[in-house]
């Protein structure tokens, strides 16, 4: 297999493609201002759609789940059908930074673990106008939780130079003229229970057969080991924002 095929071999069918949990999704949803009995929600960078399924089950909103991966969207479609929610969730293969939607047309915007792909400020700038007045925006973002990260942690996150602290992101939110309702730091179990542990088990059961496969395995194991050694230096934080 080449590198892309190897990556999907290791990741295909995992419960999640990043840190999170249904409990965290439910916790963040409980902090959102009252939602309309019906309306529209966006789940941006939805991956296999675990958040979309929770939102569909616990609100009256119609969910549009957006991701660039047709494979992950297909996983969500199968899960939605199995759970009797196919009519509540529409999938859309698109980039989060190329949404063609009418301003003020959405009641809830949700994004878990995907904002880093376009940057925190860019997400606020691009997505907040899509919300109706009084609408809610919930996202989780990886952040430094120390003022002096180790060289190892900084090297790992070098591809995301815009990564900031919670205080810096709170300041960016407040500068947009919206209301920050709550913040919530995801527990360490959200990294392991449904993401790193099942991923590591799959890696350990896989025998690389060529240099591409070995390179992918090395990258994945390095990410897991950095988390083990540097867990006190970075975390995901959830933000609950109201427009207006």
Domain boundaries, the chain: 18-188+231-242
Structure tokens at 136: 């809610």
Q: Which residue has the tokens 């999170």?
A: 20
Q: pLDDT (tens digit, 9 = 90+) per residue, 171-192?
A: 999 999 999 999 999 999 999 9
Beta bridge partners of 143: 235
Provide the pLDDT for residue 243: 96
Q: What percent of the chain has pLDDT over 70?
A: 100
Which residues, other chains included, contact 77 with Cβ-Cβ below 8 Å and sequence gap of 6+? 86, 89, 91
Measure CA 104 to chain center.
23
Query: Average pLDDT over the chain, rounded to whole?
Result: 96
Q: Give the domain 18-188+231-242 fold.
A: Rossmann fold (3.40.50)
CA–CA distances in Å: residue 58 to residues 15, 224, 236: 20, 32, 23
Residues 6+ apart with CB under 8 A from 129: 103, 104
- Give the C-alpha distances (Å, rounded to integers) separating 230 from 72, 87, 239: 29, 42, 23
pLDDT at residue 26 greater than cutoff 90: yes
Collapsing DSSP states into helix, strand and coil, what is residue 23? helix
Q: What is the pLDDT of residue 37?
A: 87
Asked if the model's pLDDT at residue 135 lies above 90, the reply is: yes
Q: How far apart are CA 73 and CA 45, in angstroms?
A: 10
- What are 69's strand-pairing partners? none
How far apart, in whole angstroms, are the C-alpha atoms of residue 90 and residue 77?
8
Angle between helices 22-30 and 50-58 (to 10 degrees): 40
Angle among Cα 196, 202, 206 to the nearest 5 degrees reads: 140
Look at residue 100 in the predicted model and tell me its pLDDT. Answer: 87
Q: Are 220 and 199 in contact (CB under 8 A)?
A: yes
Q: What is the rounded CA–CA span in Å between residue 116 and residue 156?
A: 14
Separation CA 9–CA 209 (nearest Å): 13
Cβ contacts of 143 within 8 Å, gap of 6 or more? 163, 164, 165, 166, 169, 234, 235, 236, 237
Residues 6+ positions from 104 with CB-CB distance below 8 Å: 129, 130, 131, 132, 133
Quick: pLDDT tens for 100-131.
899 999 999 999 999 999 999 999 999 999 99
Up-side HSE of residue 87: CA atoms within 13 Å toward CB?
2
DSSP code at position 185? E
The three-class DSSP label of residue 235 is strand
Task: Provide the percentage of residues in the chain whose pLDDT is more than 90.
Answer: 95
**Mean pLDDT within 138-157:** 96
pLDDT tens, residue by residue, 36-78: 989 999 999 999 999 999 999 999 999 999 999 999 999 999 9
pLDDT value for 228 = 97
């Amino acid at each position: 297999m080449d590198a892309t095929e190897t990556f999907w071999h290791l990741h295909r069918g995992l419960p999640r493609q990043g840190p999170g949990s249904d409990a965290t999704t439910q916790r963040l949803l409980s902090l959102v201002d009252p939602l309309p009995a019906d309306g529209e929600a966006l789940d941006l960078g939805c991956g296999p759609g675990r958040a979309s399924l929770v939102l569909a089950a616990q609100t009256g909103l119609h969910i549009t789940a957006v991701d660039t991966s047709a494979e992950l969207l297909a996983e969500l479609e199968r899960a939605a059908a199995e759970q009797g929610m196919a009519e509540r969730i529409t999938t859309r293969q698109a980039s989060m930074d190329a949404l063609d939607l009418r301003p003020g047309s959405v009641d809830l915007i949700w994004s878990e673990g995907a904002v880093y792909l376009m940057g925190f400020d860019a997400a606020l700038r691009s997505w907040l106008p899509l919300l109706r007045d009084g609408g809610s925006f919930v996202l989780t973002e990886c952040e430094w939780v120390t003022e002096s990260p180790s060289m190892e942690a900084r090297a790992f996150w070098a591809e995301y130079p815009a990564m900031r602290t919670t205080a810096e992101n709170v300041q960016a939110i407040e500068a947009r003229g919206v209301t920050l309702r709550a913040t919530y730091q995801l527990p360490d179990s959200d990294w392991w229970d449904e993401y790193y542990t099942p991923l590591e088990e799959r890696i350990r059961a896989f025998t690389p057969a060529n240099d591409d496969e070995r390179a992918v395995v090395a990258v994945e194991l390095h990410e897991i080991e950095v988390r083990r050694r540097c867990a006190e230096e970075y975390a995901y934080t959830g933000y609950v924002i109201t427009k207006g």
